[in-house]
Amino acid sequence: RLTTNKDIVIDEDKRLVGYVGRAHPLVRHAIDRVRYSSIGEAGAGEIDHRASAVRGPVAAPLLICTYLGRVMSGQGRELERVVAVTASADGSAAFTDELDAWMRFADREKAIAATGVWEKYFASWARGRLDEARQAAMAGFSAEAGATALSVRETVERERAELDQWLADRARELAPAAKGAEAPDLFTVDTDEAPAPLPTTPIERLEAIRRDQSRPARIRSSADAVLRIHRDRLKRLDARSNVSDPEVVPLGILMVIPEDEHGA
């Protein structure tokens, strides 16, 4: 048995229950398949819409469309979630991001050959519903995607503030040391010139220290290192703040027909 509740480890019969999270092989396989399909091989990046069929506890044929919802940033993947939309001939459609809601139909023991199932049970009503299902998947995924994008941007802003504070602290540490009298070392330029006045912002102060040949080499080297670290971290934060719009990529469809149907 499987569950998406990580607090459940056994069922009522004391049998072990598998937790289906992002690390579960089933979920990883689905995600990896989308990544492979997105890159493409001979198909120029087109998604291979695989269809499977099963008999299940349904009163009428049920179509389950699965998708990988994701949000990207300049630093890579921020959110990935397998979601699904179920559709039936009566016009009802339901979005879910809970694997239990549709994985219960994916019973290998009830799998049947998919040949002819679409034409017999679904073609008359489901062909035009695929676009609607994708729109429903996008609408359902958008709430979590929006929350993720907001969280990422808030995290970036917090880390920017922490980075600015770190830079200011390093500038305060190096500026007094740079102005203090120090014994010359082998790399110190011997000059009678007074150190140039320090600008006001942390970056300007550190740049001035780095360029000022009247400063000891150790101080100039430290200022240069701080500036490089700040520049690199800021570049990564800028990239991560560039959060993409959410997207849903089709994984495939599962066709569920009533268990008492014959001749599928």
Task: Identify the pLDDT of residue 108.
Answer: 85
The pLDDT tens digits of the residues spanning 203-233 come to: 999 999 999 998 899 999 999 999 999 999 9
Instruction: Give the pLDDT confidence score for residue 38 in this predicted structure.
Output: 41
| pLDDT at residue 39, as a whole number | 35
pTM above 0.75, yes or no: no
Helix or strand run (H / E) with residue 86: strand 76-88
Q: Are 60 and 90 in contact (CB under 8 A)?
A: yes
pLDDT of residue 181: 41
- Report the pLDDT value the prediction gives residue 91, as an integer from 0 to 100: 77
Tell me which residues of the chain have a pLDDT lower than 50. 35-48, 180-183
pLDDT computed for residue 232 by the predictor? 96
Q: What pLDDT does residue 193 have?
A: 58
pLDDT tens figures, 73-82: 999 999 999 9
Q: How far from 83 is each of 96, 112, 147, 229, CA to CA, in Å?
A: 6, 23, 16, 40
Quick one: which of 200, 242, 234, 215 has its CA closest to 75?
A: 242
Beta bridge mates, 94: 86
Q: What are phi and psi of 194, to 5 degrees?
A: -75, 150
Q: Find out whether 1 and 15 touch, Cβ atoms under 8 Å.
A: yes
